[in-house]
Structure 1
């Protein structure tokens, strides 16, 4: 796992503790949406529930370690603990229309870049034209 510190806090882990159980923490990352944050927190909690943590000192187990009953049931897992499943969306076939044939992605992007570049100048011109029309009494 590679998670942000916000996700760790939401799941109830500390940075040092996360490193000890195989979770990498990237403090530079940010969360883009609440949905992904909640999904990843849920994934972290599920991962934690599947882990069996052995105590470092057998006679002094900590709160975070697994119970003796769980330790007796422990078996070595071969493979991924939690395989990551991507949900793919199926696209349906559709007819090619004249509009879609005529559409040029390059032209659309060029037009949008031009609009972004000239937006301020066009707004200024429109404002000046409105002021001139108000002064002269014309539309």
Structure 2
């Protein structure tokens, strides 16, 4: 019996291996994601990544950071919107200014070559750089093992740190007292000179 209007489909015999007899599109979204990822991987293989700053997560190691700070861009003379266009990562959350990163930006700009859209001959001659742009180099040199000296054994690290911290905290008070003492000495000398 044929189905009539919006009623129930009577006696649907779709249980015997129906997937082979019908075209399904359940993998449509997954295919889309796979295509996008393949395109991104191809773009990564072909082109070099944007320029990134050098940061020091630990005192011995230099690695590539998320993006240049706005201060660094300002010192290098690059607008934040232009930076993103010409392949420079920008991280507005970073607030510090590193002279090494400013120098890195200037070096990147000096090596950058701009092509006009209508210059087809020049574009044919151009070669695309692959791999990381201006890779980082660790400057840390590992020290050789040696015998600990007596002077190093006698150093009390925690005590010296606490003393240094206390000195930094009380420095202003000490300076004020020293200034007052110097002024009192000058007054005493003046009184002594006037008295004699």
Q: Which residue of 1 aligns with 2:103?
A: 38
Q: Which runs of 5+ in 1 are unaligned?
A: 56-60, 62-66
Quick one: structure 1 residues 124 and 14, their matched pair in 2 at CA, closer, same or farther if it must change by over 3 Å? closer
Task: Give the count of matched residue pairs.
Answer: 123
Q: Which has the larger radius of gyration?
A: 2
* Distance in 2 separating the partners of 1:39 and 1:77: 17
Specify which of 126, 129, 140 is matched with residue 89 of structure 1: 140
Let me know the Cα RMSD of the aligned residues.
3.5
Deviation at 1:97, TM superposition (A): 1.6
Query: Scaled by the length of structure 1, what TM-score is found?
Result: 0.61
Query: Scaled by the length of structure 2, what TM-score is found?
Result: 0.47
Quick one: structure 1 residues 131 and 24, their matched pair in 2 at CA, closer, same or farther if it must change by over 3 Å? same
Deviation at 1:42, TM superposition (A): 0.4
Specify which of 19, 33, 48 is matched with residue 84 of structure 2: 19
Quick one: structure 1 residues 105 and 89, their matched pair in 2 at CA, closer, same or farther if it must change by over 3 Å? same
Structure 1 contact 10–41 (Cα < 8 Å) conserved:
no
Q: Which runs of 5+ in 2 are unaligned?
A: 1-51, 53-66
Q: Is 1:101 matched with 2:153?
A: yes
Deviation at 1:19, TM superposition (A): 1.6
* Distance in 1 separating the partners of 2:71 and 2:108: 14
Runs of 4+ in 1 over 6 A off after TM superposition: none
1:24 is paired with a residue whose SS is coil
Quick one: structure 1 residues 68 and 98, their matched pair in 2 at CA, closer, same or farther if it must change by over 3 Å? same
Structure 1 contact 4–26 (Cα < 8 Å) conserved:
yes
Deviation at 1:132, TM superposition (A): 3.6
- Deviation track 1:74-130 (CA, whole Å, cap 9, x = no partner) reads 56766x342522232314335422121222322222111101111122222223333
- Deviation track 1:4-52 (CA, whole Å, cap 9, x = no partner) reads 456546666543332223322345634243x542233103432x23xx7
Quick one: structure 1 residues 98 and 40, their matched pair in 2 at CA, closer, same or farther if it must change by over 3 Å? farther
Quick one: structure 1 residues 120 and 5, their matched pair in 2 at CA, closer, same or farther if it must change by over 3 Å? closer
